[in-house]
Amino acid sequence: MSRTLGHLMGLTLMNSSSPQQKTFLFLLICTSLAFAAVLWPFYDAVFWGVVLAILFAPLHRRLLQRLPKHPNLAALLMVGLCLMVVILPMTLLGLSLVQEATHTYERLRSGQLNLGLYFQQMIAALPDWAVQLLARFELTSMEAVQQKLSTVAVQASQLIATRALNIGQNTFQFLISLGIMLYLLFFLLRDGTVLVARLRDAVPLNGPHKHHLVLKFTTVIRATVKGNVLVAAAQGMLGGFIFTVLGIQGAVFWGVLMAFLSLLPAVGAGLIWGPVALYFFATGATGQAIILTAFGVGVIGLVDNLLRPILVGKDTKMPDYVVLISTLGGMSLLGINGFVIGPVIAALFMATWDIFAAENSGRPPPS
Residue 270 located in a structural domain: yes
Tens digits of residue pLDDT in 267-304: 677 888 888 888 787 777 788 888 888 888 888 888 77
The tally of domains found in the chain comes to 1
With respect to residue 238, please indicate whether it lies within any of the assigned structural domains: yes
Q: Does residue 64 lie within any of the structural domains?
A: no
Q: Does a structural domain hold residue 233?
A: yes
Query: What is the three-class DSSP state of 255?
Result: helix
**Could you tell me if residue 89 is inside a domain?**
no
Span 46-50, mean pLDDT?
Answer: 89
Q: Range with the lowest mean pLDDT among 163-167, 195-199, 233-237, 318-322?
A: 163-167
In a domain, 305, yes or no: yes
pLDDT computed for residue 77 by the predictor: 92
- Three state DSSP letters for 25-80: HHHHHHHHHHHHHHHHHHHHHHHHHHHHHHHHHHHHHHHHHHCCCCHHHHHHHHHH
Q: Mean pLDDT in the chain?
A: 76
Asked if residue 155 belongs to a domain, the reply is: no
Predicted TM-score (pTM) of the model is 0.70
Residue 248: domain span: 205-367
- pLDDT tens, residue by residue, 169-224: 566 777 888 889 999 999 999 888 888 888 777 777 777 777 778 888 888 888 88
pLDDT at 110: 66
Q: Give pLDDT tens digits for 132-147.
A: 666 665 555 555 555 6
Residue 161 and residue 169: Cα distance in Å, rounded?
12
Per-position b or e across 330-364, b if 16+ CB within 10 A of its CB: bbeeeeebbbbbbbbbbbeebbeeebeebeeeeee
Q: Is residue 121 part of a domain?
A: no
Residues 6+ apart with CB under 8 A from 83: 182
